[in-house]
Structure 1
């Protein structure tokens, strides 16, 4: 029985080590995702997937202590659950600093009024084929049909087509929304009339997520054909 406990159990000192390691890696990994999560989620490149896999392996191995055991794993899971419950309870307290929304990754404009922002694509590890994939899913066959393409915080690409009026509220949470709003207004895509009762829930239709095609017709030239 003692041998069985050696392989499945954990010592008091080891238990403390697992709790401390789990707490530390929880906050460190959370910080990593907050800084680079949007880029990692958006890019399907094998290198980025490998980075995510390695990060997960490091976190898992670091929390289990010198010798991974069943008791250590259960203790790590219990610690993670306790952290989540504790934070959830703290957010419900009437303390402004705790109830204040946590800053999250903001949506990034990839194309506006038919013009693709190639620097934004490169910054987030995206390519023109990936952007074209999202545009095709939105029924777009030419860059000039794109009123707005946005990389969402979760790594998906949303596309709004020309011909559908865009309300300023559709730009909530988007980086540089004032500049984008001005570009949409100049292109005649911005709809500034008050929202009706049916529209208050947010913009509808024409939205799609994911990647895009030909390399030829983009990079800022909206009127060029792909060939």
Structure 2
């Protein structure tokens, strides 16, 4: 066998003992990422600044390196990706169970009401005042006083409601802090 063929096989192959290591590393990285998102809030995943994007790319690089291990091979990469895809599929099915969904998904949160930022909610949700101002500008609302409320959604998006427009109570079901809307 030529040196080229030996190197090619070495780069494409994976030793059988490494397969469970890659799978367990993938599961660990996935669970670690879920924990970090839970600790730091969904805001880290939505409407990213350049700094946020750098952090996410760095996380991906670190996680990829941890999952694939040394030496990185195509087979290890495929096993790692397959593991992550399977975990995501299983987790997607498990999340359909109400108790599990509540444990992992954050509730929508009122962060701004009747022209005023709710400072405590900003701290809890890891939002900044500039995030709130950006959401108001994107909604083409020219002043704080014209905002009835802003809700941080579980996706990290901000929903903005104008003052003077009635909000269907069904839209507010399950929203934390909704009582602040009705003094």
The answer to whether the superposition gives a TM-score over 0.5 is: yes
Over 3 Å counting, the alpha-carbon distance change for 1:89 and 1:7 in structure 2 is same
RMSD: 2.6
Aligned equivalent of 1:113: 114
Cα 1:149–1:15, aligned 2, differ >3 Å: closer, same or farther?
A: same
What's 1:28 paired with? 32
The structural deviation recorded for 1:118 is: 3.1
TM-score by length of 2: 0.80
Match in the other structure for 2:11 = 7
**Which consecutive unaligned segments of at least 5 residues does structure 2 have?**
none
Q: Could you tell me which residue of structure 2 aligns to residue 159 of structure 1?
A: 160
TM-score (structure 1 length as normaliser)? 0.66
**Distance (Å, rounded) in 2 between the aligned partners of 1:108 and 1:35:** 16
Give, in angstroms, the shift of residue 75 of structure 1. 1.1
**Alpha carbons 2:47, 2:157 under 8 Å: kept:** no
Match of 1:12, SS? coil
The alpha carbon displacement at 1:86 in A equals: 4.1
Q: Deviation of residue 128 (structure 1)?
A: 3.4
Structure number with bigger Rg: 1
Shift of 1:80: 2.2
d(CA) in 1 for partners of 2:91 and 2:112? 37
When residues 99 and 159 of structure 1 are mapped into structure 2, their CA distance, relative to the original with a 3 A threshold, is closer
Q: Give CA-to-partner distance per residue, 1:83-134, whole Å, 9 cap, x none.
A: 3444556678xxxxx5644121122222111222234334444443432232
- Aligned pair count reads 177
Residues in 2 aligned to 1:90 and 1:162: alpha-carbon distance in whole angstroms = 39
Which residue of structure 2 aligns with residue 148 of structure 1?
A: 149
- Could you say which residue in structure 2 is the equivalent of 1:134? 135
| Matches of 1:46 and 1:66, distance apart in 2 | 30
Do 1:10 and 1:69's aligned partners in 2 also have CA atoms closer than 8 Å?
A: yes
- Give CA-to-partner distance per residue, 1:3-53, whole Å, 9 cap, x none: 321121111112222122112212222222233241313574554433322
Aligned-partner SS, 1:150: strand
User: Which structure: greater helix fraction?
Assistant: 2
Structure-2 separation of matches of 1:61 and 1:4: 20
Do the aligned residues in 1 keep the contact of 2:29 with 2:67 (CA within 8 Å)? yes
SS in 1 for 2:112: strand
